[in-house]
Amino acid sequence: MSKLASALPTGCELVFVLPHLGPGGAQKVALLAAKHFLADGLSVALVTLLPGHVQAHDLPEGLCWVDLGGDVASARRQRSVKVRSARLLHRWLALLLVAASWPLLQGIKPGRHGGVVRWLLVGLIGPQASMLHRLLAQTPPQRVMSMLTRTNLLCCQARWMLPGHLVVSERNDPNRQRLSFPWPRLQGWLWCRADRVTANTAGDLDALQRRNPEIASRMNLLPNPLVLGSAHRDAIGWSDKFERPAFIAVCRLVPQKGIDLLLEAYAALSPAIHSQWRLLIIGEGPERAALEQRTSDLHLAERIHFLGFQPDPIRYFRDAEVFVLPSRFEGMPNALLEAMGCGLASIVSDASPGPVEVVSDEQSGLGVPSGSIPALTTAMERLALDAALRRQLGQKAAATMRQQSWSALDQPWRDVLALPSV
């Protein structure tokens, strides 16, 4: 079992920092990497920051886990009216500092004025900023890798005055992800503390480099690792729970993922396909109730199944023939890589560069214009009616995903993390 600790172990070689252990692709990637490097004998730890999230992932054996969520929740609960007023004033002063004194802030470089940087992030994000700094200062690890935008900024400030290698991982299309003030300003500045800034798609990396030319030389492409074992659809067989065939979508139920578009496209399928094909939707999120209501309004509740979050969605691919992800923007979704690795034909939108970098249209899947319900319906009907095409695309997809295995990605990850080769 992994152990929950209050401090990092002395001499820890690698720490992953996440906002929480709820559902999410970043969480899955971090835990896959932790398990991989633990198997090599490294001392690896995990730090999570936020309360209020149910643990959705199993932790690998031997991983030391420090969860600051409880301390953050306590700090929030204990605030009196006076303290809450002080916190609000702190936030407004921090925003004013970013707005009015931006040239002065940009002049602060890593290793200088760490207290100012910490005061700023505590005001803008909350007590987890100072808690993370104290944790990393108490027993400084050799390497830290953080994932997701605000967590990355927290780690940059926490390591601002501290030695050691820092890697931050951005995981969404920067051309589509909308960051409100002051985050776009803070991002490029705080990244000056990062030894490496990574993206998991070539298109996202290019966009980040164009936006931040001063640190472009420290940016790297770091693909998501894929671990499937013997999960290819030809090996896992069919279950009896659902009629086959089926379309499947695996994602958080948020507007970004376009599941509302998928429901409308499925509803527009021809009656002959409707009578045979089901739609499986795996995932949780704030849009679930509205999506289920729309399913009911379309009189499709017997054909569309909302299965909630599943820690191992790969086993549900045996109930499917086609993976569909009509996102409004993306990074590189792990569920897509897993579906392709299992030999499913896929349909993705062209909204962001990530999915279309692995889904070559007409070769390893089908691409459709972002937001186009008619195009999505046409692609679904085409694959539903052509079993040979489904198999051809699925076989090519599985072959493509071999490039995402640890045997192919171990050295790039080691290079970014400044780990010695084995």
As a whole number of angstroms, the distance between CA 141 and CA 151 comes to: 17
As a whole number of angstroms, the distance between CA 127 and CA 123 comes to: 8
In degrees rounded to 5, what are phi and psi of residue 269? Answer: -65, 155
Are 285 and 384 in a shared domain? Answer: yes
- Higher per-residue pLDDT: 332 or 415: 415
pLDDT level of residue 244 (50, 70, 90 thresholds): low
pLDDT tens-digit series, residues 97-115: 999 999 999 999 999 999 9
Q: Domain range spanning residue 158? A: 3-225+406-417
Lookup result for tokens 């770091």: 222
Three-state SS for 220? strand
As a whole number of angstroms, the distance between CA 297 and CA 411 comes to: 51
Are 109 and 204 in a shared domain? Answer: yes
Asked if the structure places residue 127 within a domain, the reply is yes
CA-nearest of 313, 366, 367, 361 to 341 is 313
As a whole number of angstroms, the distance between CA 380 and CA 39 comes to: 41
Asked if the structure places residue 75 within a domain, the reply is yes
Mean pLDDT across 259-270:
96
Question: What is residue 239's predicted lDDT score, i.e. its pLDDT?
Answer: 43
Are 288 and 390 in a shared domain? Answer: yes
Q: Say yes or no to pLDDT of 241 above 60.
A: no
Question: What is residue 381's predicted lDDT score, i.e. its pLDDT?
Answer: 96
Are 197 and 242 in a shared domain? Answer: no
- Bridge partner residues of 196 (DSSP): 167
Lookup result for tokens 């152990």: 3
Asked if the structure places residue 323 within a domain, the reply is yes
Give residue 286's identity as a one-letter amino acid code: P
Sheet (strand 44-48) strand order: 3-5, 64-67, 44-48, 14-18, 143-147, 165-170, 196-199, 219-221
Strands 14-18, 165-170: pairing kind:
unpaired
Question: What is residue 174's predicted lDDT score, i.e. its pLDDT?
Answer: 84
Asked if the structure places residue 328 within a domain, the reply is yes
Are 13 and 161 in a shared domain? Answer: yes
Mean pLDDT across 293-314:
93
Are 24 and 54 in a shared domain? Answer: yes
Are 214 and 259 in a shared domain? Answer: no
Q: What is the DSSP letter of 23?
A: S
Question: What is residue 82's predicted lDDT score, i.e. its pLDDT?
Answer: 81
Q: Say yes or no to pLDDT of 232 above 70.
A: no
Q: How many domains, the chain?
A: 2
As a whole number of angstroms, the distance between CA 265 and CA 25 comes to: 25
Are 267 and 362 in a shared domain? Answer: yes
Asked if the structure places residue 422 within a domain, the reply is no
CA-nearest of 358, 409, 332, 365 to 28 is 332
Token pair of 270, please? 């021809």
Q: Say yes or no to pLDDT of 378 above 80.
A: yes
Instruction: Read off the CATH number of the domain in which 326 is found.
Output: 3.40.50.2000
Question: What is residue 23's predicted lDDT score, i.e. its pLDDT?
Answer: 86
Mean pLDDT across 177-191:
90
Are 378 and 411 in a shared domain? Answer: no
Are 208 and 240 in a shared domain? Answer: no
Are 36 and 183 in a shared domain? Answer: yes
Three-state SS for 269? coil
pLDDT level of residue 345 (50, 70, 90 thresholds): very high
| Angle at the Cα of 245 from the Cα atoms of 240 and 246, rounded to 5 degrees | 100
Asked if the structure places residue 182 within a domain, the reply is yes
Mean pLDDT across 46-55:
93
CA-nearest of 12, 37, 3, 2 to 135 is 12
**How many Cα neighbours within 13 Å face the side chain of 228?**
27
pLDDT tens-digit series, residues 166-183: 999 998 888 877 788 999
As a whole number of angstroms, the distance between CA 160 and CA 381 comes to: 54
C-alpha dist (Å) from residue 115 to 16, 74, 132, 161, 370: 24, 23, 14, 9, 45
Are 385 and 411 in a shared domain? Answer: no
Mean pLDDT across 314-336:
89
